[in-house]
Structure 1
């Protein structure tokens, strides 16, 4: 039986990592180096070589069965013309999507420069990138490669994060033929391999294949460990260990120290724990006291370096011990060809740590602290923080977290990991650190309910106040690890509070007060906080209905944002500018701005940023208004998918409101119901009465009325009237517009007009022409309902003139048959040529749209399914309709309802118009098809 210790071929060269926000350990990109000869296993090498024709090789077995050794030996047998190998040795610290993909993409990039779809540094963008988009780009890049590549992920069992599992499953599902993935793991991955198995695209190497055969075990003991056991003893060891390589090596080390084979075999009859206990006693305790001390006290380290070990042990001869332990084959493997970094076998390290905890528990915190201090001196902040947390040195850990540069808080890997680190700090320690409380609030702003963000920012202010008082009382006695309270930090806290007050509450007074406080304390170089404050001031203006002021506020900051090149702030600027242009009724300008936003985000290096979901949504709104419903639907779905990938709670209500609007316009009431349920769910998860009012109140009302759910509409109206009024005039206006829809549905046209007139005046003064147009069309319907045709036509002419340049369509179509009839009458009047052409366009849309819209009854067999009502029946009209269905005459209806016959005729005329029927029989048939006559009685 041969053995090997070949130099590697086609392994990625010594890693030269690109600029990264977080140091990546170069040793994790290299297979372990074996200084001792190992047994060659030709049967398994041949099996792995055959597996290169499949997408995935799964090497799955318990610890100690030689998975890593086999793979490292295998890739070192590759000839020079063999595909290169991208190797990643994973550990528990890589169990976040960000860290995992930074290592994987870096490994791939070292083998194929330019293969990674983005610079590694951009992975840590906040919010997190669209992983599916990034993986799609990676798959596309791989598909363009002509040469194959092998990716080995060792110790994959350390990856327990469900997001990583889903991402890798996606990659495997769409893997191009140029990439082969090898997973080495103690446990099978949780994602399904059924499809790959069905396609014969998986090679599975498991415990039974990995077990050492009798011949391999004998060769190992004789040729590698230099042990000559009798055939009977060898068979006994083999029977007990059953090919377990780690057990064999431990047993061999024990026998090398002259332990009697009978004693060993007796120990092998017990449990694995007993075996460990015996072998540790025989191996560890037979070493010198100095070696035992070194092994135990360095077992806290995931990687060993001479300088690091010297610092942890407070000695200067660690290199000597590392070389001695390596020569003794005590489960220590070099991680690089220069033998600068080492690692213990995970099994051995776990046993050593357990022994350390038993024999010297008081020393463990000090060892971790010195490791933390060493890593901090090397600017390896992540490792420093992890060891500080393990040392329970909370103040030191908190100080390290606070030392993450302020400009990194939006983009760097440390900041992405900060929440998980902060979770390990005692709550009372965290609450004392204003910087960390502020960082938590900032990281949670888009993805957590507003009350959570507000709680953290209040904690930040409280902690700042307490720290500031301590500094004033004892200015020279501050703890070196204690929190600081500079005035500029208070400015950052105030700027975030202004953002929350403006975005979530529409409280202009509070927003401006916080902005003034921030201006007092911020320093000139804190430009990001100053821009953040400007955004808050713009939102304060918008919440009061002053859109133009908000636009000017944004434009004043654009030059500074552009000069700094901050992509996050640029995306927020575009988002706000598009939103405000839309409210101003400038649809073409809003479209152009959103196009610029999308272009700017798409041209960034790397995956499609999640911020792109905002301009996608705004474009879908504009497409909807232009009656391009299918395009709008697809874009809205795409935006929702992006928002859900990163759980952007602050965004999802806007997207589901739009989806509700689009599906309602398409007549897809079942889909609209689903969108409404999703919208309700997102608002429960991220409650904001202000945002609910300005984003969703009108669309929710239109949905309830279209479905005939007057009870829910009335309940909402009662809650609004009885509740405390919102601070924002804009929010109150949107609620009143929703109430106007309800009043019209209840045939209370006079009340609707009285409600709308002052709203229209204010919207006109503030030049919010989108809202003016919507309210004009409601007024027109009220005039029509009151048979004030002259006023209806005059106002409709103004609406047509206002809407023509921007191409509004859905605002008019939402008015239903009444608006269509009035437009036909308006055609007879004298109009400007541009308005006349636009009027004809609207009428063509009505003629095409109304008869052909699908409904929630699509599943029923019908050659021409009826459409849902764009102009819903009022409560009185539905009562008249029920009486009509019973065959009641006009006089019967008048007596039943205690009204005049002329009133009944007016209701019947409206019913025929809304149902697009020419007589009572058609009206009743259509009402039955729509399900109106089977509903419960109205209040």
Structure 2
């Protein structure tokens, strides 16, 4: 779920009806649409945003005539956006204002997948934009306010591969660190710079004539143009200073006489001195605010709202550089150059203590209205680091419950390290950030510091704080310490849950999920379900994304316990919520769960639908779920006699894996390619991969390499390959038994039975398959026995002769017979592999003897 976004950042400055029309610049911007990028750069006050805003208005007016229709997305950047995840979140929200269904996955990726690469993110965005029928003009205003290298790496790649539907407009005071020379040489770039934006003498004269009551004398025009050098804000300041005067020549004379002073200083002083004292106070006091409304400005100045609204109305009426940020008017800001000038006057008129009070008042109002980032900005400006730490402590749990790890990290980075080391809440918050990134080493260091601090400060903490922090530390320890004894782990889980349950309203979903999944991994499924069911019942005020995560865990635990009906209900409810609230990750993991249930129960069409959704969006779960779902699709298409349908899907996954740069994903996709080769009859090619892949320790049930390798070795059927298959399947048995995921245990038992059958040990094969049948069939898992061909039928028919398993075996045989009936008659039979050479047989024997590659060489 997205954190609160400032919607005013998506509005271009609202222009008055008295701005100077500049046809030459409008034509330049029209012509620039033929390029990929328009770069508008000049120092502050040259009207960059105004010119682009005027052009956007002109585009809208001409859309119904000669010009084609174009969407326009506007994003005004500030210093808080100098963090790539936040920048991208705002960028997607800006695009969403005019293209609501474009790139909808990216926001979820930014918030929930901290491992998402720039290459992957830009690819998702570019593909989304390429599907838009209406061209998009994307404007990034005040780009100079950010300097995060990741932002500019993203923009460079976006421009390089941008579809023709996208035109990017960059507005900045300085040239951004982008490949401008290459863009220029490649014809990608159009530019407006200082010499283009400054007023010519003719435009200066036209500007004055349009706003003064009398014809401006030539001396005034010449003096103003010479002194301001076409500076647009300088002309506006001069115009404001001329208000109420009738002797324009005298003003020009005084302006010329003060040539030694910076023109802006002279003009600002002239403008301010002409304002009533209360207006002057309002201007310089509200200059600390990057945006303000009536209530916020009233809080800073300690005046009532009516007075504040009257001051704002006056500033708007006299055009004192006030820019409306919303329609109807609610939020405002000053022109950035004018704000800088006002801030210098603030420093002259008030002491640091008085300014600090203003910042503190602003922070209090903003925090009360859940604008935490802006509140922290004002506390840091004082600076009051203790207050910054206090506010982050208050917001830590809410932020973690929104899964906004990147936002919490941004806040925590504002706290000096010595102070961070003195705050247990903040240390634990940073530990969760590191845990989310799977940086276990950094997480453990933070845990040690927090635990020591908690022991030292225990007496000063409330019971609730102490209990929640203790439970969080235990949950993190369980997640990062693999060597803990099971009995110790279970005791720690139960102790932590007892502390947490009475304080669920003050906890977050990550700690609950850590305890629940740790319970499941110890085989305590009943206790895991107790944790998540109690949380769903007792924490209804949690954010929707947190509740969905807990509900998904409940679905998984129900499935692991054999209660598929309850599992499907949880997954289906989450899928409905995901569609209603655009929770892309929740939607994909829900479909992953539903696809797994459909596979187990042999519901092929339903399984295919869910698997395809997951496979087509692998980036939402770092590729892990997509690997499992693709494995299911390969088997499904093979059963239908359409094995080649899998190949383009796996090739697509390979491209995604390369973009994501995840070694696990890349290795799994290579295995999936070999599995496709096997189902398409190319056993030798598949065997080449299997023999080149050594044993490795499994860490997750998403690892499909051992199962695929075993299937391929079984297909070869030589003694050496069967010996290797035996080793591989024994590892599967050990891992899946410890994972307490019954349907994976069944899969391993089936593969073991097949190995024994091919090793001419029918008694052992029948016994292992009986164990699989007894585990799976009472849970409805008949689909797990499909796709293995005649060898499975042979063992099952033998099993049917045994009284203890005859009924269960008969049920499975009924399903397999039906499965054979729907298989197309032209199903391709895998060709036999070419005979191995003596050298290859020798290598196989050595592999079966568990020699290493080096020893074999």
TM-score w.r.t. length of structure 2:
0.66
Partner of 2:20: 39
> How much does 1:388 deviate?
0.4
Q: SS where residue 642 of structure 1 aligns?
A: helix
1:464 pairs with one of 454, 462, 471: 454
> How much does 1:429 deviate?
1.4
> How much does 1:284 deviate?
4.0
Q: SS where residue 387 of structure 1 aligns?
A: helix
Q: State the distance in 1 between where 2:736 and 2:315 align.
A: 82
Q: State the distance in 2 between where 1:703 and 1:498 align.
A: 50
> How much does 1:504 deviate?
5.0
Partner of 2:389: 398
- Does structure 1 retain, via aligned residues, the 8 Å contact 2:237–2:268? yes
> How much does 1:389 deviate?
1.2
Q: SS where residue 424 of structure 1 aligns?
A: coil
Residues 1:24 and 1:76: Cα distance change in structure 2 (over 3 Å)? same
Partner of 1:571: 548
Residues 1:378 and 1:440: Cα distance change in structure 2 (over 3 Å)? same
Partner of 1:931: none
Q: State the distance in 2 between where 1:511 and 1:20 align.
A: 34
Are 1:512 and 2:490 matched, yes or no? yes
2:401 pairs with one of 407, 410, 418: 410
CA offsets, 1:656-709, max 9 Å, x none? 577689889989899999999999956799xxxxxxxxxxxxxxxx99995568
1:788 pairs with one of 761, 765, 773: 761
Q: SS where residue 856 of structure 2 aligns?
A: coil
Partner of 2:245: none
1:280 pairs with one of 265, 272, 277: 265
- Does structure 2 retain, via aligned residues, the 8 Å contact 1:115–1:141? no
TM-score w.r.t. length of structure 1:
0.61
1:539 pairs with one of 517, 525, 543: 517
- Does structure 2 retain, via aligned residues, the 8 Å contact 1:368–1:388? yes
- Does structure 2 retain, via aligned residues, the 8 Å contact 1:39–1:224? no
Q: SS where residue 69 of structure 1 aligns?
A: helix
Are 1:65 and 2:46 matched, yes or no? yes
- Does structure 1 retain, via aligned residues, the 8 Å contact 2:379–2:388? yes
> How much does 1:385 deviate?
1.5
Q: SS where residue 289 of structure 2 aligns?
A: coil
- Does structure 1 retain, via aligned residues, the 8 Å contact 2:13–2:53? yes
CA offsets, 1:773-801, max 9 Å, x none? 5135325524643x434444565576578
Q: State the distance in 1 between where 2:632 and 2:660 align.
A: 11
Residues 1:684 and 1:843: Cα distance change in structure 2 (over 3 Å)? closer
> How much does 1:543 deviate?
2.4
Partner of 2:669: none
Are 1:713 and 2:694 matched, yes or no? yes
Q: State the distance in 2 between where 1:751 and 1:53 align.
A: 61
Q: SS where residue 212 of structure 1 aligns?
A: coil
- Does structure 2 retain, via aligned residues, the 8 Å contact 1:394–1:425? yes
Q: SS where residue 60 of structure 1 aligns?
A: strand
Residues 1:836 and 1:344: Cα distance change in structure 2 (over 3 Å)? closer
Which shifted more, 345-354 or 531-540? 531-540
Q: SS where residue 395 of structure 2 aligns?
A: coil
Q: State the distance in 2 between where 1:707 and 1:386 align.
A: 59
Partner of 1:771: 745
Residues 1:537 and 1:344: Cα distance change in structure 2 (over 3 Å)? closer
Partner of 1:217: 204
Within 5 A, what are the aligned runs for 1:62-461?
A: 62=42, 63-70=44-51, 89-94=76-81, 154-155=141-142, 158=145, 185-186=172-173, 210-221=197-208, 224=211, 238=225, 243-249=230-236, 277=262, 279-280=264-265, 283-284=268-269, 299-303=287-291, 331=321, 343-351=333-341, 353=343, 368-373=359-364, 375-376=366-367, 380-404=371-395, 406-407=397-398, 409-411=400-402, 417-461=407-451
Partner of 1:596: 572
Within 5 A, what are the aligned runs for 1:805-820?
A: 806-808=781-783, 813=788
> How much does 1:343 deviate?
3.6
Q: SS where residue 45 of structure 2 aligns?
A: coil
Which shifted more, 387-396 or 363-372? 363-372
Q: SS where residue 31 of structure 1 aligns?
A: coil
- Does structure 2 retain, via aligned residues, the 8 Å contact 1:537–1:550? no
> How much does 1:494 deviate?
3.4
Q: State the distance in 2 between where 1:379 and 1:753 align.
A: 58
Residues 1:510 and 1:244: Cα distance change in structure 2 (over 3 Å)? farther
Q: State the distance in 1 between where 2:472 and 2:684 align.
A: 35
1:614 pairs with one of 589, 599, 620: 589
Q: State the distance in 2 between where 1:681 and 1:411 align.
A: 26
RMSD: 7.1
Q: State the distance in 2 between where 1:101 and 1:839 align.
A: 49
Unpaired segments of 5 or more residues in structure 2? 243-248, 667-682, 802-808
Q: State the distance in 1 between where 2:297 and 2:712 align.
A: 74
The structure having more radius of gyration, on CA atoms, is: 1
CA offsets, 1:741-782, max 9 Å, x none? 999986896996999699689959989364145135325524
- Does structure 2 retain, via aligned residues, the 8 Å contact 1:124–1:411? no
Q: State the distance in 1 between where 2:190 and 2:417 align.
A: 48
Q: State the distance in 1 between where 2:738 and 2:385 align.
A: 58
Q: State the distance in 1 between where 2:757 and 2:797 align.
A: 18
CA offsets, 1:823-848, max 9 Å, x none? 55876896665444556678898998
> How much does 1:218 deviate?
1.9
Unpaired segments of 5 or more residues in structure 1? 1-18, 268-274, 472-484, 645-651, 686-701, 721-725, 814-818, 854-865, 883-896, 898-906, 911-934
Q: State the distance in 2 between where 1:356 and 1:511 align.
A: 59
Partner of 2:804: none
> How much does 1:560 deviate?
1.5
1:486 pairs with one of 454, 457, 462: 462
Q: State the distance in 2 between where 1:601 and 1:245 align.
A: 51
CA offsets, 1:431-457, max 9 Å, x none? 222333333344554344234444444
Q: State the distance in 2 between where 1:494 and 1:754 align.
A: 41
> How much does 1:394 deviate?
0.6
> How much does 1:154 deviate?
4.6
> How much does 1:336 deviate?
7.7
> How much does 1:570 deviate?
4.2
- Does structure 1 retain, via aligned residues, the 8 Å contact 2:592–2:611? no
- Does structure 2 retain, via aligned residues, the 8 Å contact 1:495–1:518? yes
